[in-house]
Amino acid sequence: MIYFDNSATTKPDLSVVDTYSKVSKNIWGNPSSLHQFGEQSFNLLEQSRQQIANILHVFPDEIYFTSGGTEGDNWAIKGTAFAKQKYGNHIITSSIEHPAVINSMKQLERLGFEVTYLPVDENGKVNIEDIKSSIKKSTILVSIMAVNNEVGSIQPVDKIGELLKNYPNIQYHIDAVQGIGKGLHDIIFNDRADLITFSGHKFHAPRGVGFMYKRRGKKVVPLLAGGGQEKNLRSSTENLPAIAAMARALRLLTDNETVKVAKQSKIKKFIFDYISKFDNVVIFSKDNNEFAPHILCFAIKGVRGETIVHAFESYGIFISTTSACSSKKHLASSTLTAMKVPEKESTSAVRISLDENNTMAEAEKFIKAFDMLYEKFKKLNS
């Protein structure tokens, strides 16, 4: 089996699974309990928080545990909107955000908030000047993803941060779910980012766990009312086994990160260079430093994306249509639509997404399968 769908989810590392299992068996007290079992769990919870903070070079009290990227995005956006609504009701985002962001914005619009959806260029990137010209006195939040999950375009989140230094009352949220461990730490953790969201299952941690970075002093209201966990901001008994496992996964991910990123870039380039020679192939991801090293989105003209996915699956190669969240709905890519890609091409789009475990040998098997499938599709369309 060749697994090229890591942007949808990653395989949990065996040592991470072992951590989850050991904590579940041995440290099962509630971190809020006063007895020694509770104290043991609380200590591990805070050790995990400290470890994540150390890796990311932030303060431990800036890390808040969540159930994943969707909750984190909802919390950052709605939590800011409700915390700052007496100061304004205008929010700026892009037209290519993840559904967790877009649908949060749609909900807020129904509650009376105003949202500006910025266009993107042919490379799927927002323009800094568009953000600047969209800012109003009533603007309370800018929310822009670090890496687009469909084509891999890297947004200029550091430059946006520089712009927002002139607007200290606007909170700045970055969805970094696809950016963690990809050599982008410095642009994501720029000194103007206020809220940054992450999802554990994107970097070999269990599903159902994630975290949000919240800069000291920044205000969000809780979305969950309950027992007051996470400093009264995110109630719900902490998922300690998953949190401890996620801390380990993050440490493993960031060990030798530069080497791992270079390996993914090399594999991506190898596939990019090969498939770009074919007349009926359209590539939407570029092979340069403005695109993430692990995502390659392309189409074979005249063949629907789901057909391509299942064709590769018959060779034991697993890729995806452009977004796992909408793949079973057979929807055209929202990102490619925003990039003004014709519908015939966008409905043919598929995505390869790599991680540090993929190999060049797998890429070579992919292109052999590609050759056979391309000829098959060519005959069908002739």
Domains and CATH numbers, the chain: 2-9+257-377 (3.90.1150.10), 14-254 (3.40.640.10)
What confidence score (pLDDT) does residue 327 get? 46
- What distances in angstroms separate CA 277 from CA 270, 272, 336, 361, 367, one per listed residue? 12, 9, 21, 20, 12
Catalytic residue among 55, 325, 331, 369: 325
Tokens read off for 175? 């969805």
The secondary structure element, H or E, covering residue 153 is none
Do 71 and 132 form a contact (C-beta atoms < 8 A)?
no
Q: Are 79 and 223 in contact (CB under 8 A)?
A: yes
For the chain, residues with pLDDT lower than 70 are 323-332, 382
CB-based contact 126:117 (threshold 8 Å): no
DSSP of 76-87: HHHHHHHHHTTT
Q: How far apart are alpha carbons 53 and 30 in whole angstroms?
A: 22
> Residue 234 carries which DSSP code?
S
Which three-class secondary structure string do you get for 330-359?
CCCCHHHHHCCCCHHHHCCEEEEECCCCCC
CA 108, CA 92: separation in Å to the nearest integer? 12
Nearest to 173 by CA among 154, 145, 198, 133: 145
C-alpha torsion sign, points 55, 61, 65, 66: negative
**pLDDT score for 325:** 52
Structure tokens given for 255 = 């060990």
Pairing assessment for the beta strands 281-283 and 210-214 based on DSSP bridges: unpaired
Farthest-apart Cα atoms in the chain, separation: 73
Looking at residue 31, its pLDDT comes to: 84
Q: What secondary structure does DSSP assign to 55-114, as a single string?
A: HHTS-GGGEEEES-HHHHHHHHHHHHHHHHTTT--EEEEETT--HHHHHHHHHHHHTT-E
What pLDDT, on the 0 to 100 scale, is given for residue 30? 81
Please confirm, yes or no, whether 325 is among the known catalytic residues: yes
CB contact set of 217 (below 8 Å; sequence gap of 6+): none
pLDDT at 331: 55
pLDDT in tens, 14-54: 999 999 999 999 998 888 888 998 899 999 999 999 999 99
* pLDDT for residue 134: 98
| Residue 134 CB-half CA count within 13 A | 25
